[in-house]
Every structure is written in C-alpha cells, then in structure tokens.
Structure 1
Amino acid sequence: MRVIRGRASTPEDDREATRDLLDAVSESGEPAVRALTPHRQLAFGRRDANEPGYDAARAAASERGFPPVERSVGGRAVAYTGTTVAFAALEPTDDGRTGITDRYEDAVGTVIDALDSLGVDAERGEPPESFCPGDYSVQARCGGSDGEEFGKLAGIAQRVTADATLVSGVVIVADRGEIREVLAPVYDALDVPFDPESVGSVASAGGPADSEPVARALEDAIVGDRATTVESLAEATGREA
C-alpha cells in the first residue's frame, strides 16, 4: 500500500492531489492512504452552497480567519484549524456501487481503533445537533464538570468511481473552542441546527493534542498488516508543498 505524506501548497491543490491519487489507484490497482493536517479553512459541502444564507456563512468564516472553500464530498461545513487531521483511504474496486455500507462501517471501526491506540475511549455516534451530522461518526466523552459530556471527534464520507473508492474523514485533534466559535455563526447563517457543545476533540477525550501521532495512528490503522511504500506528495503527484 502506498503511504502518501505531506500536503500541497493550497487547499484546492490538496483536493486535486487526492483526485490524482484516486485516478492512480484506478489505473494501477494499488491502494493508497493519506493522513495529514490540511490548511486552515472552512470547508463547505454541496448542500451548504445551495442554502440562501451561504454568502453570509462564507463571510462569517472569513471574518474569523477561516478561508471558505467548497468540497465535492461530505455533508455540512467543517472547520480545519491547522491541527485538524484529515485522512483518505483509496482502494481499487471492481464495482464501487456494492459494499458502500460495509466500507462506512469498516471506516468507523478503523477510526475507533486508531483512537484507542492513543488512549481515547471512542465509540460510534454523535451528540444531537453536531457539525456535519451523519450516521457514520465517532464520539467520545470529552470532559465538562462531570466528565460525562459526549463530543463528536470524527465524521466520515465516501466517494466512488468506476474502478476505485475513496473513504475519507476528519478528526478534531484540538482547538475545539475555536471550532465552536466559527461554526456557530456559520451554521446559524445556513439555518442548520448546531450545538457548539457537541464539538469534541482528541485532546479533550484524553488523547494527544499533537496532530502527528493522530495522523500516524490513523495511517497505521488503515494500512493494517499490508506492506507499504512511503512517498512524499510531491513524489506521488508532482504537487509541491
């Protein structure tokens, strides 16, 4: 399995790099994985772009120092602070239309296993009115006065082409306060229910506040027992950091 490390110079180049890798998996049949810390940004989904308050939501993100971008996969808006980790598992397939639910289920288990290796007792699910709500999310107890409050740590998305699948996700490592502060006005502008207290983080759930061990744990969990080759993003795609 190809392990691709690093990020491109801009959020758009980064998304293009993942598309390049998906094409490469389709052509070669060799799986690949990325786990990285994306540039600081507020990534909106396609549904967000169709909302009447979309322009106001973009302005709210920009005013708080989060450049707004649009992504082609996933659901509602997600904030990346610079410590947030994104992962992408790219696999060849003969028929991507089958096994969609199984891939989601496997991805949830993979994220839980990765977090467990970091000392986080995570489970499937999310609190009510979470950011980017979805059936395939991961949560953990994240403190509060009684230590019993659940917070959403991760969400998972999927994209399928004729010959390859892309299962991707985002894991909140730290900066939950900053994420709450930007997502509250963004979701309000989009008129989408959102509870700021639903935002969790690996750090607040007892894990590291450093993105590097989180990225490597996700990478290891996705790779499993497969042999790997490690490449920089520049080597793999020609896109410089």
Structure 2
Amino acid sequence: MSLLDQPVWRVFDQSSLGSHFDGRQSFALDDTLCESVGSGASACAARLWVHQQTVMLGIQDTRLPYLHDALDALKQAGFSYVARNSGGLAVVLDDGVLNLSLIFSERDKPLSIDEPFQAMAGFIERVLNPFGITFETGEIAHSYCPGRYDLSAGGRKFAGISQRRVRGGVAVQIYLCVSGSGPARAELIRTFYKKGLQGEATRFNYPDIDPHVMASLQEMSGLKLNVPQIASAVLKTLQMSGKVIGSSLSDRESRLFGNYYERMIHRNEKAFGNFG
C-alpha cells in the first residue's frame, strides 16, 4: 500500500492565518504532530501553511561568518527569519508560497529516508495533474536550498522538500512557489549569502545562486494560479487517498505544542543572540 493511502487523514489548514502566524509555531506544530502520530495517538496528518515575508534558515545558514550582515539584508528587504529544525538551507516564504507537511508513523514499520520524500513528490504529481503541470525530480544546481528532491520543469525549480523525524513520527515538508517571482525570491537569498560570506572561504559550500533557475508555477505554466487554488487541489487529492477530517489539537497535543514551541524559541535565541 502506498504511504499516501491512509484510512484517515487529519487535516490542519493554516493557509490563511495571516501575519500573526509565527514561523517558529509551524515547526513546533509539526514536531507535536510527529510525536502524536508516531505514538499511535493520532491518524496520519496533513498541514497546509503559509507565512508572510519570512525566510526559513537552516543550521548551516546560522553559521555564516557575517551572519548579522546577512540578517540585516533580510530585515532591510522587509523579511523576518526563523532558524528551523528540519534539514536544508534558506528558503523564502510569502503569500505566494504554499507549504504542506505530511506526517507519517513509523510505529508499524520503519521508513527509509527516501520513502517519505518519494511519497510527497508522488502526492504533488497528483495535485498538479488536473492543471496539466508535469515536473522532474532531481537537484537543481544554483537554486536556493538545493537537494535531490527538488521539483522543477524546464530546469526551473518551483519546490523543495525537507524532512524531520521525532519520536516515531516523520514529517515531510514541501514549499510550493505558486505565484509571484521565483527569480526575485532567489535574488533575496543570493544577497543573503553575499552579505553573509563577503568573499570569505568556508568549510561548508553555500549555494552559488542563479535567480533564473527558480520560478513559480504561475510563471512556468502561464496559468493564473494562486495559493487558495492549489490548497483546494491538495485537499481534493487527500480525499482521494483516505477519509479527510478537519482537526485541531487535542488537550494533550496542546501541552506538547507548548513544550516544542519553547524549544523553537530557545533554538532561535541561541542562533541569533541579541540580533534576532
């Protein structure tokens, strides 16, 4: 049976919460759901989320030699930033980017690293099929946050996937650039690395970004697409994979969330010091 075919999907649609929805909350929520799904207390879960003008940074990004200059460039561009707890490097989130987390359990059998990635790529294939959009999977060099599970068409990347494992639960997370300018988002991250490196050699190889290898689905397809449209397609696709139940956190999950949110706050304080 495919990982996507579940008897029940618990759905958390947080795609229209607006500017008060903090990026740190998102990753605390996924950790909460990982623990709940992993323990068997919850069915598999899907969470749709959007953050306004936020750059999600990876661990290596917080080790740039001139980090404060890089963060200052984001602030000047009108973006906030969060150090996330899943893999990968800097990505841009705004109101034209839809994020999706699918949360699976390893309670019955362990999942390889690739299985959740492949499940997410397969799911997005189902989501985009009605729009006539096809894509390839594989690393796009010179994109931001490059990885083996980049999604692209014609050499231009519109999505990237990361993964997080907590207490028997696996969250696989994707950002989908639906509308807006892919090159403009890439230019922001190129500036971030330029300010953060200032020509200094580092042991870690940060991406050498070419803004023209990034695009939104709207730019690539020529269709007038928006986040609510793709969010609706995600929900329809989930309904074809199992029973969908709109959900909120249980009392136990709310307590777990409080703990995980505290951890995210401490992680960010440690990463950014007084600058954040």
- Fold shared by both chains (TM-score > 0.5): yes
Counterpart check, 1:11 vs 2:29: no
Q: 1:201 aligns with which of 216, 226, 237?
A: 216
Q: How much has 1:220 moved relative to structure 2?
A: 3.9
Q: For 1:1-241, what aligned pairs fall within 5 Å after superposition? A: 1-6=9-14, 7=17, 9-27=21-39, 28-94=41-107, 98-141=111-154, 150-176=155-181, 177-191=183-197, 192=206, 193-206=208-221, 207-222=223-238, 224-231=240-247, 237=254
Give CA-to-partner distance per residue, 1:182-210, whole Å, 9 cap, x none: 12201323443111111111101214431
Structure 1, 132-141 or 25-34: larger mean CA deviation: 25-34
Question: In the alignment, is the contact (CA less than 8 A) between 1:25 and 1:91 conserved in 2?
Answer: yes
The secondary structure found in structure 2 opposite 1:65 is coil
Partners of 1:184 and 1:31 in 2: CA distance = 37
Give the total of aligned pairs.
231
Partners of 1:232 and 1:94 in 2: CA distance = 22
Structure label with greater radius of gyration: 2
**Unaligned runs of at least 5 residues, structure 1:** 142-149
Partners of 2:132 and 2:186 in 1: CA distance = 24
Change (3 A) 1:40 1:223: farther
Partners of 2:224 and 2:123 in 1: CA distance = 18
**Unaligned runs of at least 5 residues, structure 2:** 1-8, 198-205, 258-276
Instruction: Provide TM-score, normalisation by structure 2.
Output: 0.75
Partners of 1:201 and 1:230 in 2: CA distance = 28
Question: In the alignment, is the contact (CA less than 8 A) between 1:118 and 1:214 conserved in 2?
Answer: no
Partners of 1:22 and 1:103 in 2: CA distance = 13
Partners of 1:196 and 1:234 in 2: CA distance = 43
Give CA-to-partner distance per residue, 1:6-52, whole Å, 9 cap, x none: 24732222322222222221331411101222232011101111121
RMSD: 2.5
Partners of 1:5 and 1:124 in 2: CA distance = 26
Percent identity among equivalent residues? Answer: 22
Query: Residue in 1 aligned with 2:267?
Result: none
Instruction: Provide TM-score, normalisation by structure 1.
Output: 0.85
Structure 1, 77-86 or 35-44: larger mean CA deviation: 35-44
Which 4+ runs in 1 deviate beyond 6 A? 233-236
The secondary structure found in structure 1 opposite 2:157 is strand
The secondary structure found in structure 2 opposite 1:228 is strand
Change (3 A) 1:106 1:165: same
Q: How much has 1:116 moved relative to structure 2?
A: 2.3
Q: How much has 1:94 moved relative to structure 2?
A: 2.5
Partners of 1:152 and 1:96 in 2: CA distance = 33
Q: How much has 1:124 moved relative to structure 2?
A: 1.1
Q: How much has 1:63 moved relative to structure 2?
A: 0.7
